[in-house]
Structure 1
Amino acid sequence: MSENASASFEGPEKKLKVTFAPDAPSLRAHPRAAWDAVLAAAGASVVSSARDAHWDAYVLSESSLFVSDHSATLITCGQTRLVEAVQPLLALAPAGALSQLLYARKSEHYPEQQATRFDEDAARLSALLGGRAREASVRLGHGEHFVDLFHASAPGASRRPDMTLEVLMHAPDPAACAAFAAERAPAAHALVADMVPGFALHEHYFEPQGYSVNGLRDGAYVTLHVTPEPEGSYVSFELQGPLGGSLPVDAARAVATLSAVFAPRSLEVLTYAPGHRGGEGGAQADEWAVDVPGYSVVTREHHVAADYALLFTQLRPSAAP
């Protein structure tokens, strides 16, 4: 997604979500320089920013950063070293304030170009946490495309009443990716605005190619990243927001629109809901389970990740051999 994207740019992303206790000082009170330092550790920088009453949102040279009072979600692509950002990010809150940490790496097209492997990152995170939290690692999916996930939660940590949808797409239709070029900006904006109505969007078109957009609405955020490449094109989408309201409807609409527009050869859908599956008072990730026309389920997995109920669904086109 970088302005210096090469023919072998790595679209599949790494993701870090850190949540702190509700009585910790607000992360949004930190100056911009503190976040620049976190991003520099990962090898990313801010391209543009926006904010509302709930979130500070940043489009980055490599994907996005979202900061609320007590959580931060950092998504980076390319050859970024996201694990290096964890220590400076944790330092922005008091010791002992950590509630939950999620760290994911999507299977890369060019793993040999990455500075570390997932198992090395997981060992680094475990050492940083120093036994302060329950932790585990899991691989979601199988075959060529998968997600490696490290998750940790502090004993007795409060559960966040939010839900998250991720849609990860390998080998999207080249014509669909071309629609997100700068010279076709009005059409791209209209497509995203129709898919997630009511979100205030801010976009960036990269040179020579690539598109990122963040959106904010009523405590929710959305982000879409399109990485067209001669080989290894990739598209990712994320929607997060508080429980209730129109979010499940937004999620179903987004999955249907994304699959129809991009027609990827590989589609993975992840949903996170608070409370482990079947747990008392826990919303079910299954509420966001969707059937995708033209696609068949390869695998559907339930996991518990940092006290979230996680539903992972891997799909392929029904007509594929």
Structure 2
Amino acid sequence: MAAIGFEGYEKRSPGFTKAQVDEILNPVECTNVYSLSNEHVDSYVLSEPSLFVFPYKIVIKTCGTTKLLISISAILKLAESISLTVQSTRYTRGCFIFPSAQSYPYRSFTEEVSVMDGHFEKFGLASKE
């Protein structure tokens, strides 16, 4: 998953609490191994992916099997709780060598986009071809 951009970043608290980060990570079954923060970004080295929280966007990167799409609901809930609104989204991924061995919705990019659209169409951010 790539950047989820938010409008109203000036209202963001300075960093997420451990409980807030855990709320995003627990559904995808990964843990925070180490975190580092400065005035520009909070970065989290996770058990498989990495999480970067900027005042205006969240970036989650993985090269493994973490099911990042599951975290979208928790991210949107957290954003709403601190009065942030979604401005834009971007989702990218490479190709699987064995796509049929993946679980839904990770068998195809089309399935993944469908899940993203399910979350972001209400913000007027449906996928573009």
Partners in 2 of 1:96 and 1:72 — Cα distance?
A: 12
Answering whether residue 82 of structure 2 is matched by residue 103 of structure 1, we say no
More helix by share: 2
Q: Is the contact between residue 27 and residue 92 of structure 1 (CA under 8 Å) also seen in structure 2?
A: no
**Which SS does the other structure have where 2:59 is aligned?**
strand
Q: Distance in 2 between matches of 1:25 and 1:60?
A: 26
Per the alignment, in what secondary structure is the counterpart of residue 52 of structure 2? Answer: strand
Mapped pair 1:125 → 2:119? no
Letter in 1 for 2:113: A
- Deviation of 1:24 after TM superposition, in Å, equals 5.8
Q: Please say if 1:82 is aligned against 2:79.
A: no
Give the TM-score normalised by the residue count of structure 1: 0.35
Structure 2 gaps, min length 5: none
Contact 2:120 2:126 in 1 (8 A): no
**TM-score under structure 2 normalisation?**
0.81
- Worse overlay, 24-33 or 66-75: 24-33
Deviates more, 1:24-33 or 1:52-61: 24-33
The count of residues paired between Structure 1 and Structure 2 equals 124
For the residues of structure 2 that align with 1:87 and 1:109, how far apart are their CA atoms? 28
User: CA offset at residue 119 of structure 1?
Assistant: 1.7
- Extract unaligned runs of 5+ from structure 1: 1-14, 139-321
SS in 2 for 1:135: coil
Percent of pairs identical after alignment?
A: 26
Show the 5 A alignment for 1:1-321: 15-23=1-9, 25-26=11-12, 28-94=14-80, 97-115=85-103, 116=105, 117=107, 118-137=109-128
The structure number with the bigger radius of gyration is: 1
RMSD of aligned Cα (Å): 2.2
- Specify the SS of the correspondent of 1:54: coil
> CA offsets per residue over residues 11-44 of structure 1, 9 Å max, x none?
xxxx231110035631644311111221222232
**AA in 2 matched with 1:104:** T
Measure the CA separation in 1 of the matches of 2:84 and 2:33: 32
2:24–2:75 Cα contact (<8 Å) kept: yes
